[in-house]
Amino acid sequence: MNPVSSATERMNPAELRASLSLASVQSLRMLGLFMILPVLAIHARSLPEGGDPALLGIALGIYGLTQAALQLPFGIASDRFGRKPVIIVGLLIFAVGSVVAALASDLWMMAIGRGLRGAGAISAAVSALVADSTRESQRTKAMALVGISIGAMFALSLIVAPPLYRWLGIAGMFAATAVLAVIAIVWVIRGVPDVPRLSREPLTRAQFARVASDPDLMRINFGIFSLHAVQVALFVVLPGWLIERAGLAAADHWILYLPVVLLSFAPMMPAVGWGERRGRTRVVFLLSVAALVCVLLGLASRPQGIVPFALLLFVFFSAFNILEASLPSMVSRHAPAPVRGAALGLFNTTQSLGLFSGGLVAGLVRGTWGDAAVFLVAAGLLGAWLLAASRHRHWPGATH
């Protein structure tokens, strides 16, 4: 079938059901993660050793480290043992970690609980199951639905976290995330459609070497690392600048974030759909990376007032959402089906390393050269990705 004409097709009912079901599973898990982040640093001050910046950094960052360490094993296991069993095990580990954190009486125990939450690293298995459940022509749309659900949970967390912290306390919030994980497990069992097992054989060294050394997959992995490193680096500086340069009190930042994040989803599906229909996925992709570079250079120019920040963040999140949906779809299309979980495991490992590295490097750059330098270094990283991505050889549905 012609790739351009196939891109005009709609998702069939089975594909739509699978995509929405898996988006719901990821939503429940990510809501459990996101709604803790706005209040964790505040609550840590009331705990023994909560004033230790290094320990607080460990408690905040250990989730990303354990997730990075286990994304690949979970992805490989999903190839060998099936996607759904691995997802269920990961959600169980996440729930146990939430209970440990809920019972924590000091910051060390809370850090252990957050590390266990990260150990439930199911993103690769979920992405692989989305890929297994959809045709190539519909895969980016399916990934976009998952991305939209995660972004919606981020926006919702900005609203619900403060009142939940007042009503339930941090222990109650962690307990609630354990309940969300259990609900997600039930939904995986009852709501997510089964798909045929693609492989029962263990991954060989030769297969892994091909996946790890494939030039296009390496470019994609560098891209997801860069994208998420920049996302975290942005928020090392941005909250302070919104107070100083936009005149927006810290408690009111959600007034800017919420509409910007929600509106940024509007361009995603039309842009992805146009690229698929016209065989111009390369154009949409590269323009999105270039838009991120322009946003970071705009932020480095030290804007003043809430309107410039709103416009820049709208462009940032619009481009971010397009790339966030496109990258896992590109991995799933390029990697052979029997090793898709392994390829997505590598992909999600580099994503998690980007989350951890972005905050670390941004803090060092800020301390050495100042706030604006963070945006310039981030723009340089994305510029390097733009150059690498321009040499990508296999664009889904491309005719140009």
Yes or no: say if 93 and 101 are a contact pair by the CB < 8 Å rule.
no
pLDDT at 188 over 90: yes
The span from the CA of 173 to the CA of 164, in Å, is: 7
The span from the CA of 178 to the CA of 240, in Å, is: 32
3-state SS, one letter per residue, for 231-249:
HHHHHHHHHHHHHHCCCCC
Name the residue among 300, 302, 295 with its Cα closest to residue 264: 295
Whole-number pLDDT of residue 3: 43
CB atoms within 10 A of CB 205: 7
| Helix locations, 82-200, DSSP H | 83-102, 107-119, 123-132, 136-190
Structure tokens at 139: 């895969």
Whole-number pLDDT of residue 375: 96
Structure tokens at 202: 């263990």
Structure tokens at 287: 């323009």
| Residue 190: burial class (beta carbons within 10 Å; 0-12, 13-18, 19+) | exposed
User: For residues 13 and 384, which has the higher predicted lDDT (pLDDT)?
Assistant: 384
Mean pLDDT computed over every residue of the chain: 86
Whole-number pLDDT of residue 351: 87
* Degrees, nearest 5: CA angle 228-340-353: 25
- The conformation of residue 338, written as its DSSP 8-state character, comes to G
User: For residues 192 and 203, which has the higher predicted lDDT (pLDDT)?
Assistant: 192
Whole-number pLDDT of residue 198: 58
Whole-number pLDDT of residue 399: 46
| Residue 230: burial class (beta carbons within 10 Å; 0-12, 13-18, 19+) | buried
User: For residues 297 and 42, which has the higher predicted lDDT (pLDDT)?
Assistant: 297
User: For residues 260 and 379, which has the higher predicted lDDT (pLDDT)?
Assistant: 379
Whole-number pLDDT of residue 201: 65
Instruction: Classify domain 1-191 at the CATH class level.
Output: mainly alpha
CB atoms within 10 A of CB 214: 17
What kind of architecture, by CATH, is found in domain 203-400? Up-down Bundle (1.20)
The span from the CA of 302 to the CA of 387, in Å, is: 26
Whole-number pLDDT of residue 302: 96
pLDDT at 199 over 50: yes
Across 68-72, average pLDDT: 89
Helix (H) or strand (E) holding 22: helix 13-34
- The conformation of residue 203, written as its DSSP 8-state character, comes to P
Range in 138-142, 184-188, 313-317, 321-325 with the lowest mean pLDDT? 138-142
Across 55-65, average pLDDT: 75
Helices (H) and strands (E) in the chain, counts: 16, 0
Written as one string, the DSSP assignment of 290-305 is HHHHHHHHHHHT---S
Range in 2-16, 93-107, 124-138, 265-279 with the lowest mean pLDDT? 2-16
Across 140-146, average pLDDT: 81
Contact residues for 174 (Cβ-Cβ < 8 A; gap 6+): 36, 98, 99, 101, 102, 113
Domain ranges of the chain: 1-191, 203-400
Q: Could you give the percent of the chain with pLDDT greater than 90?
A: 37
Whole-number pLDDT of residue 80: 86
Structure tokens at 384: 């390097």
- The conformation of residue 193, written as its DSSP 8-state character, comes to P
Range in 155-169, 189-203, 229-243 with the lowest mean pLDDT? 189-203
- Condensed to tens digits (0 to 9), the pLDDT of residues 330-383 reads 888 888 877 888 888 899 899 888 877 887 788 788 888 999 999 999 999 999
